[in-house]
Amino acid sequence: MPDNTVDDLRRISKPFLHFTKEVAIPKVADRLHPHLPRLRLEEYDGRNMRAAPELFAKFGATFDPVLSSHKGRHPHWDAFVDIMRYPEDIIPNHDGCVFIIRNAEDCLREVRGGLIAFGNIMNSLGSEWATPAREGQWWDRGPKSLHTVFLFNRIPRQLPDAAPIELIGKPRDFNNGFTTTIGT
**Measured on CA atoms in the order 107, 126, 75, 57, is the torsion positive or negative?**
positive
Cα separation of 141 and 82, whole Å?
17
Closest to 176 (Cα-Cα) out of 59, 44, 43, 27: 27
Q: What is the pTM for the complete model shown?
A: 0.83
What are the C-alpha distances in Å from 177 to residues 85, 125, 173? 32, 29, 8
Res 138: pLDDT = 82
- pLDDT < 50 regions, the chain: 1, 70, 72, 169-184
Res 149: pLDDT = 95
Residue 97 pairs in a beta bridge with 40, 146
Res 176: pLDDT = 34
Is there a cis peptide before residue 15, judged by omega within 30 degrees of 0? yes
Domain topology for 4-173 = Rossmann fold (3.40.50)
Q: Are 34 and 165 in contact (CB under 8 A)?
A: no
